[in-house]
Amino acid sequence: MSDIALRAVGLGKMYRIGAEREAYRTLRDTLARAAKRPIERLRHPGAATHASEQLWALRDIDLEVQHGEALGVIGSNGAGKSTLLKVVSRITEPTEGRVEVKGRVASLLEVGSGFHNELTGRENIQLNGAILGMTRAEIKRKFDDIVEFSEIGHFLDTPVKRYSSGMYVRLAFAVAAHLDPEIMIVDEVLAVGDASFQKKCLGKMNEVAHGGRTVLFVSHNMTAIQNLCSRCVWIDEGSIRQSGGAQEVVYSYLGRSAEGPVSGEIDLAHWPHRYGSGEARIVHARLLDENGVMTTTVHRTRPMEVRFVFESRCAHPLHFTAQIVADTGEKLLHLSHHDTPELRPGVLKGQYEVAFAVPVLPLCEGQYKFWLAIHTESMVPVDVVMDVLPFVAEDIADSPRPYRTTASESAFCWTPSHCSISPAP
Amino acid sequence: MSRHSIDTAADAQFFVIERKRGWTGLDLRELWRYRELMYFLTWRDVLVRYKQAVLGVAWAVLQPLLTMVVFTVIFNRLLGVKSPASDVPYPVFSFAGLLPWQFFAGALARSGVSLVGNANLLTKVYFPRLVIPISAVLAGLVDLGISFLVLIALMAAYGIAPTWHAVFLPLFVVLAIAASLAVSLWLSALNVLYRDVQYIIPFLVQLWMFVSPVIYPVSSIPAGPLRVAFSLNPMTGVIGGFRWALLGQQFPGGYMWASTAVVAVLLLGGLFYFKRMERVFADVV
């Protein structure tokens, strides 16, 4: 087999903390330092002029992707996944090793790169297409398909600054979806838009992955990885921890991540995995058990409460939700403040705490986490924090069930039911 | 063994990404492949500028026109700076100099911040980084075209006919682009590495105008060491050339060649410096 589309050999990327990665330098400081250096040398001969710590974001990465294969890349935040994609996309240079690619590469590390707010949808399609590497003729040919896919209709000649965030993202993804390179590099860009559009995006990705295209796909959505990719690598602290069949790697990754340090509360002020306009910001969240004690373990059939604190300077009414998401990425439960009809929050400015009390936890044994979200009443995302407050659902101690029913083996959800058995008539 | 030979054959088509050390080639062929992107980014800059400014085109007309009026009142009337040729009045003389000067000043202002302003592109998409400062420079051509029409109107108003020298104007436009790019490449790359460069640029442009023959003719500088120093200014040749081509004034001569040579050296040096620095842009910007 020599039908390799992409190969990495001994790939490494080092950042110097305290030098290049330091916010940025100024000419003034550099000149001042240069002027001082001879004096320092005289004063402290032999002392190191600058100490900088090396950080290997990637080290000794060996990869081979066959032509037409979709390879998933998973790993926790900061493991080096994005650095890998950046090196393969030629955005940043490797420090050691090499990458060899055969064929036209398009990388999609972000949707809407180069979008300009003042320009219309039509103009942005042309601009973004060119940025992603399409030729003018190609953009012209695909223009109608892109417009149709994006569902923006008669807003085509409106500046995108007047678009809702949903429309913006749909347009941006539509352009990207119509690239047809031989090798496609995709970062987590599918966690955008509303549910139906996400489904459409995944459908398109599926088409790409199964259409003989070579794909390198980074995602936190384990379901998407398993559906789209045949093989998967798990990157941990800059090197490959496991590589193999997608199913197998995903399972061992999930098994490990539950061991990590987790607690029943989390400070979200700097949580990176979020999107939205930011007019309100979720800063803290906690999970309480039936006794009101913070926990990471809750019990099937028992009460549970999730609380989050937010700060808002938003001048219109907001919609608060919490979603319980399976560790494999499926969204399972949706809690909305609208389910409490007498609650009419109105415009809230300042700091508030939202509490969702669930009287009966309808989940089978398994690992879950939360998405906490604030939207406007027209469902424009204000702050959506993803993958927080991981918890384990366990069966109650005096469960009437004689053996364990886990989410992965039976089903995620459970509901009170009554069963009767009688002779068939 | 056979497997090995197949691999080697396939290797021939592989594109290799690895660390480059030291000075590298300019790879202008790749830049040429990305010419459409360059076109689109230039187009974006132009579109955004004329869309955002309420005055739009009016701004491109007023800026040089008002500058010319101020120059005429202050330098010509009050301080007695004269146009070197009696048949060319000072307003036309200074406007012909402002044409390339404002193109140059605008190019420096835009391209200086161009890489930092496009940081989101640098960290998310690959393309030859040279595309960004080049398109920032080229975006000024529309303003230059508009100012050029104003100059034609001004010449008509004063009854000055263009001479046959005008056929050489495109050459000097190319020289103006080269001079702007030469300085822009240095400034844009330096601004990524040292973020305070962008604050120095307006000051630099201001000083630079006074040492360029925009307000006064080159002939008013006494021959000798001072004239030699002036000829090292890349803009001296460009402005002299514009005036020669548009107004039929005396051919710039010796200082023109010296100034052009400085442009060539700066441009080549800028290209290599930019190429050397571009590999860290995505990490630093």
The reply to whether residue B196 touches residue A114, judged by beta carbons under 8 angstroms, is no
The reply to whether residue B16 touches residue A100, judged by beta carbons under 8 angstroms, is yes
The helix (run of H) or strand (run of E) holding residue A100 is strand A96-101
Residue range B98-104: mean pLDDT, rounded: 95
Task: Reply yes or no on domain A55-256 having CATH 3.40.50.300.
Answer: yes
The reply to whether residue A101 touches residue B124, judged by beta carbons under 8 angstroms, is no
For residues B95 and B101, what is the distance between their CA atoms, to the nearest angstrom? 10
Give the minimum alpha-carbon distance from B206 to chain A in angstroms, rounded to a whole number.
20
For residues B78 and B76, what is the distance between their CA atoms, to the nearest angstrom? 6
Q: Which of B133, B272, B242, B122 is nearest to A90 (CA)?
A: B122
Please give the backbone phi and psi of residue B124, each rounded to the nearest 5 degrees, phi first: -125, -20
SS3 of residue B96 by DSSP: helix
The reply to whether residue B122 touches residue A91, judged by beta carbons under 8 angstroms, is yes
Question: CATH 3.40.50.300 region(s) of chain A?
Answer: 55-256
Its pTM surpasses 0.80: no
Check if the beta carbon of residue A12 is closer than 8 Å to that of residue A96: yes
Q: DSSP per residue over B203-249, as a string?
A: HHHHHHHHTTTTSS-GGGSPTTHHHHHHHTSHHHHHHHHHHHHHH-P
Check if the beta carbon of residue A195 is closer than 8 Å to that of residue A116: no
Q: Please report the pLDDT score of residue A193 as a whole number.
A: 55
The reply to whether residue B19 touches residue A100, judged by beta carbons under 8 angstroms, is no
Q: Which of A90, A113, A130 sits opposite B40 (nearest CB)?
A: A130
Model confidence at B280, pLDDT cuts 50, 70, 90, reads confident
Pairing status of strand A53-66 against strand A105-108? unpaired
The reply to whether residue B16 touches residue A92, judged by beta carbons under 8 angstroms, is no
Check if the beta carbon of residue A306 is closer than 8 Å to that of residue A356: yes
Sign of CA dihedral B114, B116, B120, B126: positive
Give the minimum alpha-carbon distance from A275 to chain B in angstroms, rounded to a whole number.
17
Q: DSSP per residue over A166-186, as a string?
A: HHHHHHHHHHHHT---SEEEE
What residues of chain B lie within 8 A of the CB of A91, using their CB?
122-126, 282
Give the minimum alpha-carbon distance from B130 to chain A in angstroms, rounded to a whole number.
14
Check if the beta carbon of residue A58 is closer than 8 Å to that of residue A82: no
Query: The CATH number of A265-394 is which of 3.40.630.10, 3.40.950.10, 3.40.309.10, 2.70.50.60?
Result: 2.70.50.60
Residue segments in chain A with a per-residue pLDDT below the cut of 50: 1, 20-22, 46-49, 51, 258-261
What residues of chain B lie within 8 A of the CB of A32, using their CB?
none
Extract the tokens encoding A20: 């290049």
> Which of B83-87, B152-156, B189-193 is least confident?
B83-87
Question: CATH 2.70.50.60 region(s) of chain A?
Answer: 265-394
Q: Show the DSSP H helices in chain B as ranges.
A: 2-11, 28-33, 35-52, 57-71, 90-112, 114-117, 119-122, 131-138, 141-158, 169-193, 197-210, 225-231, 234-247, 254-284
The reply to whether residue B19 touches residue A96, judged by beta carbons under 8 angstroms, is yes
SS3 of residue A204 by DSSP: helix
Q: Does B11 score more than 50 pLDDT? A: no
Place of tokens 């890998």: A84
Pick the residue of A54, A66, A67, A91 with the most B CBs within 10 A to test the interface with B by mutation: A91
> Which of A11-20, B23-32, B80-89, B167-176 is least confident?
A11-20
Extract the tokens encoding A6: 């992409």
Please give the backbone phi and psi of residue A89, each rounded to the nearest 5 degrees, phi first: -80, 0
The reply to whether residue A130 touches residue B37, judged by beta carbons under 8 angstroms, is yes
Extract the tokens encoding A45: 């001969």
Place of tokens 């966690």: A191
Q: Which of A27, A98, A110 sits opposite B17 (nearest CB)?
A: A98
Give the minimum alpha-carbon distance from A272 to chain B in angstroms, rounded to a whole number.
17
Check if the beta carbon of residue A174 is closer than 8 Å to that of residue A156: no
Q: What's the pLDDT tens digit per position in B27-65?
A: 788 888 888 899 999 998 888 888 766 667 788 888 889
What residues of chain A lie within 8 A of the CB of B125, using their CB?
89, 91, 107, 109, 113-114, 131-132
Pick the residue of B14, B113, B187 with the most A CBs within 10 A to test the interface with A by mutation: B14
The reply to whether residue B194 touches residue A25, judged by beta carbons under 8 angstroms, is yes
The reply to whether residue B15 touches residue A101, judged by beta carbons under 8 angstroms, is yes
Q: Which of A27, A91, A95 sits opposite B126 (nearest CB)?
A: A91
Extract the tokens encoding A283: 């800063």
What residues of chain B lie within 8 A of the CB of A114, using their CB?
44, 118, 120-121, 125
For residues B17 and A394, what is the distance between their CA atoms, to the nearest angstrom? 49
Q: pLDDT: is B255 or B22 the higher one?
A: B255
Q: Which of A226, A194, A349 is nearest to A281 (CA)?
A: A349
Model confidence at B278, pLDDT cuts 50, 70, 90, reads confident
Q: Which of A15, A89, A136 sits opposite B126 (nearest CB)?
A: A89
Interface predicted TM-score (ipTM): 0.79
Mean pLDDT, chain B, whole residue set: 86
Model confidence at B102, pLDDT cuts 50, 70, 90, reads very high
SS3 of residue B252 by DSSP: coil
Residue type, B252: P
Task: Quote the longest CA-to-CA distance of chain A.
Answer: 103
Pick the residue of A3, A26, A138 with the most B CBs within 10 A to test the interface with B by mutation: A26
Q: Please report the pLDDT score of residue A260 as a whole number.
A: 45
Q: What's the pLDDT tens digit per position in B187-226?
A: 999 998 888 888 999 999 999 999 999 999 888 888 888 8
Strand order in the sheet with A231-236: A105-108, A183-186, A214-218, A70-74, A231-236, A239-245
The reply to whether residue A100 touches residue B120, judged by beta carbons under 8 angstroms, is no
Strand order in the sheet with B15-18: A53-66, A4-17, A96-101, B15-18
Nearest CA in chain B to A15: B283
Q: Please report the pLDDT score of residue A263 as a whole number.
A: 66
Q: Which of A27, A119, A123 sits opposite B197 (nearest CB)?
A: A27
The reply to whether residue A113 touches residue B200, judged by beta carbons under 8 angstroms, is no
Give the minimum alpha-carbon distance from B275 to chain A in angstroms, rounded to a whole number.
13
Q: Please report the pLDDT score of residue B6 as a whole number.
A: 38
Give the minimum alpha-carbon distance from A225 to chain B in angstroms, rounded to a whole number.
22
Angle of helix A165-177 versus helix A195-209 axis, rounded to 10: 10
Extract the tokens encoding A116: 């300009």
Q: DSSP per residue over A198-222, as a string?
A: HHHHHHHHHHHHTTT-EEEEE-S-H
Q: pLDDT: is B97 or A21 the higher one?
A: B97
Q: Please report the pLDDT score of residue A55 as a whole number.
A: 83
For residues B152 and A270, what is the distance between their CA atoms, to the nearest angstrom? 58
Give the minimum alpha-carbon distance from A103 to chain B in angstroms, rounded to a whole number.
8
